[in-house]
């Protein structure tokens, strides 16, 4: 499926995501700024924070308690903030667009 990162400088980068991959892995492996994924997707960092395009917010799985706890450390959190390691590629989210925040914790 296809997804697009909107970088802090407003440029857009679109990638193909294999089904089952996490958004954090795609961002990290393509060296997107501020997507560090330091904890490897274990909900222990918040360096994978992204802001989801509101049009897609409802298509994503709800925020778990663990994700909620860790999101408190995200800098510049918004109502559509998510931890990208918790967002897995499915056909429903084809075309997903997320903004990368300007700072990492
Ligand atoms: Fe650490 Fe997502 S990679 S919380």
Tens of pLDDT, residue by residue over 37-53, are 999 999 999 999 999 99
Give the residue, out of 21, 28, 32, 43, with the most ligand 1 atoms within 8 A of its beta carbon, to mutate for a pocket test. Answer: 43
85 lines ligand 1 (CB under 6 A): yes
Predicted ipTM? 0.99
Return the ligand 1 atom nearest residue 46 CA: 4
Contact 102, 8 (CB under 8 A): yes
Tens of pLDDT, residue by residue over 37-94, are 999 999 999 999 999 999 999 999 999 999 999 999 999 999 999 999 999 999 999 9
First to last CA, the chain: 29
| Separation of alpha carbons 40 and 89, rounded Å | 17
């Amino acid at each position: 499926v296809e997804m697009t990162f909107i970088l802090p400088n407003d440029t857009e980068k679109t990638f193909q995501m294999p089904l089952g991959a996490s958004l954090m892995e795609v961002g990290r492996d393509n060296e997107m700024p501020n997507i560090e994924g330091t904890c490897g997707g274990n909900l222990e960092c918040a360096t994978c924070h992204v802001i989801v395009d509101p049009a897609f917010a409802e298509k994503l799985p709800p925020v778990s308690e663990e994700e909620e706890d860790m999101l408190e450390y995200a800098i510049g959190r918004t109502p559509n903030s998510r931890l990208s390691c918790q967002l897995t590629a499915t056909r429903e989210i084809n075309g997903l667009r997320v903004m990368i925040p300007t700072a990492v914790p």
